Amino acid sequence: MPRTVLTVRDLEAIPPGGELVVARGTIITALAADEAAQRGITIRFEDSPASVGGAAQPVPRTIAIGADHGGFDLKEQLKIHLREWGYTPLDLGTSSRDAVDYPDFAEAVANAVVRGDAALGIVIDSAGIGSSIAANKVPGARAALCYDRATARNSREHNDANILSLGARMIAPETAREILAVWLETPFAGGRHQKRVDKIRAIEARHSKQEKSAGKA
């Protein structure tokens, strides 16, 4: 099922400091998010206090999850496990095995995590590679493709990954469940790893400034 996409054009009629309420699951492009932040526009999801560019805290125990057609079945299975473990899955699609494009759902999950609609996120496609690449294009997202318990633990402990990427055709459902369990249970270690994560954020910030400067030129 296609999802609404919010672009810069949709913000043209919104005055500075105004508010725009959109349907939950709407995909907000990076340019639209930047424009909203620059003009002080609040983009609020229906039935949600969180807003783009705001200081909203992640919804505790809420995990955003999204998949393309290749990851649909695994998504549905992992949602069951999340509920059994006391989490609330925020399903951002897709809703069937009909062919769709994985970047749309990876971006939706990354946006939800960065906005604070969810504490963490999960993206799934056939191999997990494309979704991790797409999610990492959203500023503030740190998506890690994990294929066993060790990589799951490392991505959280060392890299403070906030999005888990899984390849549904590369691992068995039981392996995916174990990876997810370890990933959710592992906290960020901080310490010497913090300065490295800070450097990742610094790279992101530098390139974001360069893009804005190039856009004004």
Instruction: State pLDDT tens for residues 96-107.
Output: 999 999 999 999
Q: Which pairs from 30-36 meet CB under 8 Å and 24+ separation?
A: 30/137, 30/138, 30/139, 31/7, 32/6, 32/7, 32/8, 33/111, 34/212, 35/8, 35/11, 36/11
CATH of domain 62-185: 3.40.1400.10
Residue pair 71/50 in contact (Cβ under 8 Å)? The answer is no
Give the residue-averaged pLDDT of 23-39: 71
* Whether pTM exceeds 0.85: no
What contacts 207, CB < 8 A, 6 or more positions away? Answer: none
Coil vs helix vs strand at 166: strand
Instruction: Tell whether the model's pLDDT for residue 33 goes beyond 90.
Output: no
140/57: higher pLDDT: 140
Q: 81-86: list long-range contacts, CB under 8 Å, 24+ apart.
A: 81/177, 81/180, 81/181, 82/180, 85/181, 85/184, 86/61
More confident residue, 58 or 17: 17
137's tokens: 């294009």
Residue-level pLDDT at 150: 97
Lowest mean pLDDT among 8-12, 104-108, 120-124: 8-12
pLDDT given at position 21:
84
Arithmetic mean of pLDDT, 69-92: 95
Pair 176, 137: CB distance under 8 Å: no
CA distance 135 to 119: 15
Q: How confident is the model at residue 3 (pLDDT cuts 50, 70, 90)?
A: very low
The span from the CA of 104 to the CA of 136, in Å, is 13
CA–CA separation, 212 vs 217, rounded Å? 9
Q: Where do the DSSP E strands lie in 5-145?
A: 5-6, 19-22, 27-28, 42-45, 62-67, 88-91, 120-125, 143-145
Q: What is the mean pLDDT of residues 62-86?
A: 96
Q: Could you give the residue numbers annotated as active site?
A: 158
- The pLDDT, as a whole number, for residue 4 is 60
Can you give the residue ranges of every domain in the chain? Answer: 5-45, 62-185
Residue 73 and residue 65: Cα distance in Å, rounded? 12
- Asked if 136 and 124 count as a contact pair (C-beta separation under 8 A), the reply is no
Residue 143 DSSP SS3: strand
pLDDT average, residue stretch 76-87:
93
For residue 71, pLDDT over 70 is answered with yes
What band does 180 get if pLDDT is binned at 50, 70 and 90? very high
Exposure string for 122-134, b = 16+ CB within 10 A, e = fewer: bbbbbbbebbbeb
Distance, C-alpha 215 to centroid of its chain = 25
Mean pLDDT computed over 188-217? 84
CA dihedral 41→46→51→57, nearest 10 degrees, is 160
At residue 17, the pLDDT reads: 81
